[in-house]
Amino acid sequence: MIKVSSSIVFLIIFAYTLVRYTFLGDVSLSQTPLFLFNKAISFYICALLLIATLSSKNQKSWFHLAGLCTLLHVLLSLLLIPTPHFEKYLQNGVFNFSFSTSLLCGVLAVITLVLIFNLKRNFVKELSAFIGNSRSSLRLIFYNLVALHLMFLGWKGWLDMPSWHGGLAPISLLSFAVMMIVQFAFLKKNSRSGSPETCESNTDSQRSLKTE
């Protein structure tokens, strides 16, 4: 079920990406395998995080899939940075403030994601205890960093609505909106007594105390 659902979600996102940037925009179809695919993956990650937050089943599987796609997005972005696609972020030969801040938030988000996936390791437990000793805290930090990464990356394009290809919103704006929903849903879910995240967090805390 997850395979089918995740495939459908990605195909819808990829179709939107092609229509906006190729058929209505000025990006060549030859850029599909790398540039456009990476854009679709970035939006797909946010969609997976939303599904993982709202779903009552297979939350861990959806979140793990989002983590795998995040790794793919990072690798593809590293390949794309030296290309002309990122020249618009250059200022006097170096990246401007917004793009540099976006990259920093992205790096911190990846580090936070690594901590989430390795929370059972002793050194990670000690570090997570410093910020609240909670998997929920780490996830909220991760969601905020992803949102900031998107905001600093594309806020100028969001404000220039006449430049939107076919009147369709940029991928970064849609992804940011989804991340806002993710954070709201996550906070609401964890405010309920006995929620899975809260229970999981309490269990981790108890295990950490026993270890100490």
Per-residue pLDDT reduced to its tens digit, 187-206: 988 887 444 444 444 444 44
Two structure tokens written together for 144? 């905020």
Pairwise pLDDT comparison (143 vs 136), residue with the higher score:
143
Range of the domain at 183: 2-211
Segment 8-15 long-range contacts (CB within 8 Å, at least 24 positions apart): 9/44, 9/47, 9/48, 9/51, 10/40, 10/44, 13/40, 13/43, 13/44, 13/47, 14/40
Q: Which of 149, 159, 144 is nearest to 73 (CA)?
A: 149
> What is the average pLDDT score of the chain?
85
Query: What's the whole-number mean pLDDT along residues 155-181?
Result: 94
Pairwise pLDDT comparison (59 vs 197), residue with the higher score:
59
Tell me which of 15-19, 52-56, 72-76, 142-146 is least confident.
Answer: 52-56
How many distinct structural domains can be found in the chain?
1
The answer to whether 52 and 66 are in contact (CB under 8 A) is yes
**% residues pLDDT > 90 (the chain):** 64
Per-residue pLDDT band for 70 (boundaries 50, 70, 90) equals: very high
Query: What's the whole-number mean pLDDT along residues 27-33?
Result: 92
The CA distance from 25 to 168, in Å, is 10
